[in-house]
Structure 1
Amino acid sequence: MGKVILVTGPARSGKSEWAENLAMHSQKVVVYVATAAEYPGDEEWQKRIQAHQNRRPQDWLTLSVPMELSATLAAATPNTCLLVDSLGTWVANFLEEDKISWDNKIAELLETVQLVAADMIFVAEEVGWGLVPAYPSGRLFRDRLGSLVRQLAILCDTVYLVTGGHVLNLSTLGTPLPPPRE
């Protein structure tokens, strides 16, 4: 298993920039795995995607992977650093999945992470620090992403929290919880 890093935090905290910094210093070929689908009619969304693209070095390969994340990770070579941005967007792509299909998808992802020889850096949003969403789809998203982040963090060598313009290494500051009991 390669080195696995999780970078989490709230919106606009700098988590993607921190993950990009880590990838730049990995001494490996960087592959940026974008989980967002492009929506040409959504000008604001396109500007967000463009801002991310403009920050990245030109020699990074970018893959658009809104769905097949496990297969993309499994295909990576050991001399690669995969930067997956972001898990929240990936989770949102599967909100229509039923519980059994979703649980299988997560089990596949977590198993794949443990088998990949490449380094992997995952970016994930923290969504559970505010109000409970008023709509079922919002609660489902929050619960699925929160559970995925917790399960993935157990497998990570390092977990960072980026908030308030600061980076905290949670792996050195905290104590990990045991795996969740379902």
Structure 2
Amino acid sequence: MQPSLIKDTKEKALGKVILVTGPARSGKSEWAETLAMQSGKAVVYVATATENPNDEEWDNRIQEHQKRRPQDWVTLPVPIELSATLADAKPDTCLLVDSLGTWVANLLEENEDSWENILGEFLETVQLVAADMVFVAEETGWGVVPAYPLGRQFRDRLGSLVRQLGIICESVYLVTGGHILNLSTLGSPLPPRRERGQGAGEDKGDEGDEGEITNNS
């Protein structure tokens, strides 16, 4: 049995928080793994995905990720209780969370009030953890609007999570087209809406998305 790398509340300083995002098969997980190794800390791989005996292709993807991990990494399956896992992390560890999209999908049955509470707890916890954290997130909002409600709910929840998490991260990377872009050096965090005002032309969230259905159909 592997020794526990979790549960130490005597943290003294906050850890680094890094977000790696990108489309499917972009290499975002590989870059996140590299960043975790570069931390110099014991890596805890927080896997939000679980195996599905009825989905061979999905299980193959999980196994592909498993084969890439160094033998000394500890793997924790955490499909739901992500905030609690982060809160219990030891300061001398680096948690690699892969992926936030799967975590969001696992919680789609939660109603909006419940989801907002879960999201709020997660974002608050991230800012209080002493361990380093590297999060992997999928980019889902660059295509057409999904034609079914559950797909739109997933896209909206994940998009909102990534936006809010990115603002509080020390570094944010976009992996696409075989390249790694450090968004933290190329741009600046988007201010909260209350700081930008609500004058004419100001955004009110994801307005205009409905038009994408017509324009891209």
Do both proteins adopt the same fold according to a TM-score greater than 0.5, normalized to the shorter chain? yes
Q: 1:77 aligns with which of 90, 107, 110?
A: 90
The alpha carbon displacement at 1:113 in A equals 0.3
Q: How does 1:4-15 map to 2 (within 5 A)?
A: 4-15=17-28
Q: Given the alignment, which residue of 36, 60, 69 partners 1:23?
A: 36
- Assess if the C-alpha contact under 8 Å between 1:66 and 1:93 holds in 2: yes
Secondary structure in 1 aligned to 2:160? Answer: helix
Unaligned stretches of 5+ in structure 1? none
2:135 alignment partner AA: F
In the alignment, is the contact (CA less than 8 A) between 1:31 and 1:61 conserved in 2?
yes
Once the two structures are superposed, the pairs formed by residues 28-43 of structure 1 within 5 Å of their partners are 28-43=41-56
Match of 1:98 among 106, 111, 118: 111
Higher relative contact order (CA 8 A, sep 6+): 1
Q: Indicate whether 1:123 and 2:131 are aligned.
A: no
Structure possessing the higher radius of gyration over alpha carbons = 2
- Residue of structure 1 in register with 2:64 after alignment: 51
SS in 2 for 1:6: strand
Residue 150 of structure 1 corresponds to which residue in structure 2? Answer: 163
- Partners of 1:167 and 1:9 lie apart in 2 by 10
Amino acid at match of 1:3: K
Q: Deviations over 1:67-89 (max 9, x none)?
A: 00000001101100000000000
Aligned to 1:3: 16
In the alignment, the residues of structure 2 paired with residue 69 and residue 159 of structure 1 have an alpha-carbon distance, to the nearest angstrom, of 20
Gaps of 5+ in 2: 1-13, 195-204, 206-217
Q: How many residues align?
A: 182
Give RMSD over aligned pairs: 1.0
Residue 179 of structure 1: CA displacement? 2.8
- Give the Å deviation of 1:65: 0.3
CA distance in 1, matches of 2:110, 2:192: 23
Q: Secondary structure at the match of 1:116?
A: coil
Tell me the TM-score normalized by structure 1: 0.98
**Structure 1 segments (4+ residues) deviating >6 Å:** none
SS at match of 2:127: helix
Shift of 1:180: 4.8
* Percent of aligned pairs with the same amino acid: 78
In structure 1, distance between residues paired with 2:29 and 2:134: 10
Q: Report how far residue 178 of structure 1 moved.
A: 1.2
Which of 147, 169, 194 is the aligned partner of 1:134? 147
